[in-house]
Structure 1
């Protein structure tokens, strides 16, 4: 993809937090970044006035842009870290030098210590995080130490060392922060029971602790112990800002594949794949998968896509997290999980968020890069839905507008190749119909429209749409029969919210053809309906307004249309004209005509002279 093509698709990027990945000419990832707003951040790289030489060099190497949508800026930061560690992009000079984010570690040792570390050893210790902010990690450890008497010393508390009796209780014991297992005052069983509860807490059950902190803060404040209450307030702020629903899961979720899918309008599906290693997202990919066999179900397509993606990325994951059971034999030793809650459910939701975004952006990009191709696809779908001989490249739609038969007008809007052709729009004042007769008005307008096109040898439409039901379609067909024309006519069926919900069509007998809401065809029909309604209403409003404005001036003998226009242009309303003095009226139209107008309005007023 060229830089110009990349710039065209930038407006289609989501305005959501996430990570973006730039790929080079050979498909390799050359840069990974995080963003609070993906569209704004990625667009900044492609501004003409970029000053940084490194950035200009990077932009010249970019051939495609991918992204992963997440729930918050903190999640984007964590995901960025894992992607950089996995792919080691050439242009990421800040984070690929083994810098990492803090984790809370429960050490694998007798009477385990709990600490904040950036590079924990892989020795079987339990690890929680990573945390986007070191303050959050320390606040979490402080919370644990407030709730449980956990040792903070570096002593070797193996049974042999404790039995030697060489240790002595420290200050932490005297302030009731530790039960002194170093001198045998706390059993290993009791200590490990506390550690199991702490591990459960670190996996996400913070609600209870936050409430305890809040109650403690309020009690201290009530007792006027404000300095101690401030400590709890600061810890509360850390914990309330800490989001348990990370992009990453706990480290025990390891070597797992996550898949989600969404159906497309053409029968294909979009499938998102994520690979999780030690709780970190290390691979993300979304593809569009088309049916290879006629009549394949969504489940069969999904199963085929899973197989292809696992082969493509040489995945050896032993667990698959899926939104539903595709009825597929995963193979020996492979577990399929359909989560309902918890960390695995959150990973599935992240995958689903990305596959939905992919589908939305796919259409936006197609319209940006090749708008004519996308519109041709829509017109082809409309042809197939109605069973027409060719795509309706030229569509015309009619609508009437009147108020109890007065100022009756009609409008015709024209769409060519799926786009409005405003130079071809036409307005009609109803001439031959008395009273509110929509069908007769429609017959008159359609006959006038196409009689004129025939006489001028202009091209006729491929499809006529009526903003109404059977009666309107019948009126249009009657008018076409008079002219001996055979043009397909369909009606726009509306739901209770006055939105297009179906097409009414049929050569012998009319029947409803459903249109999927939010599909591209639906949006085109909705645009046509809104445009013809707007055009007709605007014309009717203007006509009625002029009629009401001009009515009193029409009855003044000796005042013609030009003089009337001069008066309205000068005074803007009939009310202003009626209250103007003789001198004011004479300015735009002269003293003679000014007197005629003045006497017309003032002769209607009762005399105030005695």
Structure 2
């Protein structure tokens, strides 16, 4: 969770798509954002509905792809959902495609909206993220360019001819020149040359408004809005269907980041980014990465590879069995620029995460040492006790090295010599056991010992360390407030409160330590209670051995439910009558 918070803190504010992952690395949700930082952070703060809460509980990591616009992120989101089929996505998971506007390749062509692309059957424009606007634009084009409408040519003129939306090729001779003129007009329109049409619609809208025909004026206004939505630039897409990979790079602090954008069927389908230390010339490192990136004998290579123009394109073109290009301008150059941008963000994030991690760990440790007037406590060991009115008393120790938990050094202790709820005696026993073993085995001693408690707990530890083990280790206590939150750090011979800012990284470090040792103690105590509770009651019953105990727990689940059963209930699962009577009798007692 700590690493996740760090990644959240350095997210870019660019538009793009984010991919949420579970602990198996599986992509469980894909979303888009106008601002990646704000959108992804929103999952981890505030109130959510039940579905989103379940999603957030499963998230352990995420990745993201920066895009050039919000519309591009919308298109990319659609592609990624279809590819990965994340289980938390429900709206776009049905594998529906965004629509295209198509001019069919026939003697008398038609204008249609379709979601299926077959390149040899016509000219395609799109895809369009707003399906409604695509259909409305098609209706507008039907009014301006009267191509045929019927799927099967009729033998008489239809309604479309009479309303001026068809030239009637079923009856009249419509020439190839007439059809081509309409195709050229539609092509220019859909390629963004809409100024003349928009001017005409605006004039009609103003005239209709002047004549108080407000319904007609509204219709013209809506058509202009549909055209603007449909004509939105799609820099994420290329006009051809060539499979190409676009490489970008960035260099910072002796590290190189390389980002690869995979373009298939005109769409960005995936991004990969790698980071590695530079040991050679930048161009050499970049080319070495690309050569290792591909299996040169594979039949899945792209048709083209695009790289930044400053590199020796001819050299790489000769080395790879695919066309290598360094685009100078246009959409292909924009794709390489986007790859560079993703690489730059990745390497900047890496060092920003390192800086923030250092601030919250190593620097926090150094500052803590300064505040307490001791050497920087690189190794901190913290203790806490847990019991229920003296029953099943346990104690634990957690270890933090350079401000980070070192879980391999955590230890659990069952209290052996203390009878009843005596926290001070329990603390003395555990500290004695811990540091007697440390001295015996030559293990590293901590730079600071923290106990969850106040002056009494600190004095218990000092008594053992100084008087019994002759160890001189700084000892501090963490005292909680009425809300059971970390409130004060106690230190010194008189156990005085150490002045600290509550919003400092050093104080946050102490909070993390206290929360972690408390969590570890409670978890261990609960497990111990559960085992002893089940074991002690069943093990005292004559005739119930390990095998029957497993059988009883499997069948009834808990001691509580067993107490509700009678002899016949136990006999039904194969328990002999005399043993069943013993169970009922003992549990009733």
TM-score, scaled relative to structure 2: 0.54
**1:144-165 alpha-carbon deviations (Å, 9 max, x no partner):** 3343222222224xxxxxxxxx
Alignment counterpart, residue 265 of structure 2, candidates 278, 284, 290: 278
Q: 2:162 aligns with which of 160, 168, 174?
A: 174
Q: Which residue of 2 aligns with 1:154?
A: 151
Matched, 1:300 2:284: yes
Structure 1 segment 307-326 matched on structure 2, within 5 A: 307-311=291-295, 316-324=301-309, 326=311
* CA displacement 1:113-142 (0-9 Å, x = unmatched): 212234456763433222222222123313
SS in 1 for 2:245: strand
Q: 1:282 Cα deviation (Å)?
A: 0.8
Paired residues of 1:259 and 1:272 also in contact (CA < 8 A): yes
Pick one of 344, 352, 357 that aligns with 1:356.
344
Structure 1 residue 216 displacement after superposition: 4.5
CA–CA separation in structure 2 for the residues paired with 1:61 and 1:39: 20
1:199 and 2:187 are equivalent in the alignment: yes
User: Which residues of 2 match residues 386-535 of structure 1 at below 5 A?
Assistant: none
SS in 2 for 1:248: coil
Aligned position for 1:29: 27
Q: Where does residue 440 of structure 1 map in the other structure?
A: none
Distance in 2, matches of 1:37 and 1:275, equals 23
Unaligned runs of 5+ residues in structure 1 are 157-165, 377-610
How far apart are the structure 2 equivalents of 1:250 and 1:326?
23
Equivalent in the alignment of 1:112: 109
Change (3 A) 1:364 1:211: farther
- Report SS of the residue matched to 1:330: helix
Instruction: Tell me the residue number matched to 1:269.
Output: 256
Partner SS state of residue 15, structure 1: coil
The alpha-carbon distance between structure 1 residues 48 and 171, as it changes in their structure 2 partners (threshold 3 A), is closer
Q: Distance in 2 between matches of 1:289 and 1:175?
A: 66
Task: Give the Cα separation in 1 of the matches to 2:233 and 2:329.
Answer: 12
Task: Report the equivalent of 1:18.
Answer: 16
Matched, 1:210 2:207: no
Does residue 237 (structure 1) correspond to residue 225 (structure 2)? The answer is yes
Distance in 2 between the 1:208 and 1:320 partners?
39
Offset at 1:208? Answer: 4.9
Match of 2:247 in 1: 259
CA apart distance, 1:273 = 1.0
**Aligned match for 1:248, one of 209, 214, 236:** 236
> CA contact under 8 A between 1:366 and 1:374: conserved in structure 2?
no
| Cα distance between partner residues in 2 of 1:229 and 1:340 | 45
Q: Does residue 77 in structure 1 map to residue 58 in structure 2?
A: no
More deviation, 238-247/85-94: 238-247
Residue 359 of structure 1 deviates from its aligned partner by: 3.3
2:142 matched residue in structure 1: 145
Query: What is the alpha-carbon distance in structure 2 between the residues aligned to residue 33 and residue 110 of structure 1?
Result: 43
* Matched position secondary structure for 1:271: strand
Could you tell me how far 1:254 is from its partner in structure 2?
2.9
Shift in Å at residue 334 of structure 1?
A: 2.6
The one of 186, 199, 212 equivalent to 2:174 is: 186
Q: Distance in 2 between matches of 1:264 and 1:368?
A: 17
Give the Cα separation in 2 of the matches to 1:171 and 1:247.
39
Q: Is the 8 A contact 1:245 1:346 kept in 2?
A: no
Judged with a 3 Å threshold, the aligned counterparts in structure 2 of structure 1 residues 180 and 49 are, in CA distance, closer, same or farther, namely closer
1:66 is the counterpart of 2:53 = no
Comparing 80-89 with 99-108, which one deviates more in the overlay? 99-108
Equivalent-residue separation in structure 1 for 2:363 and 2:327 (angstroms): 40
Root-mean-square deviation (Å): 3.4
Give the CA deviation at 1:275: 0.8
* 8 A Cα contact 1:19 1:35, kept in partner: yes
The counterpart of 1:129, out of the listed 126, 130, 133, is 126
Gaps of 5+ in 2: 365-589
Contact 1:116 1:138 in 2 (8 A): yes
Q: Deviations along 1:256-313, whole A, 9 cap, x unmatched?
A: 11122233242x43222111111211111222244343xx1x3333323333344499
Q: CA deviation at 1:373?
A: 8.9
Tell whether the 8 Å contact from 1:20 to 1:65 is kept in structure 2 after alignment: yes
Q: Relative to structure 1, is the Cα distance of residues 362 and 13 closer, same or farther in structure 2, using a 3 angstrom cutoff?
A: same
Separation in 2 of the partners of 1:141 and 1:27?
A: 43
Question: Aligned pair in 2 of structure 1 residues 243, 48: CA closer, same or farther (>3 Å)?
Answer: same
- 2:6 is the alignment partner of 1:8: yes
Give the aligned partner of residue 592 of structure 1. Answer: none
- Tell me if the contact between 1:272 and 1:284 (Cα under 8 Å) persists in the aligned partners: yes
Change (3 A) 1:341 1:231: farther
Mapping 1:333-348, distance limit 5 Å: 334-348=322-336
Query: For 1:58, what is the secondary structure of its paired residue?
Result: helix
* Partner Cα separation in structure 1 for residue 108 and residue 363 of structure 2: 68
Encode CA deviations 1:357-413: one digit per residue, 9 max, x unaligned.
32332232222333389999xxxxxxxxxxxxxxxxxxxxxxxxxxxxxxxxxxxxx
Q: 1:236 to 1:32 in 2, by over 3 A?
A: same
**Which whole-Å CA distance do the structure 2 matches of 1:201 and 1:214 have between them?**
16
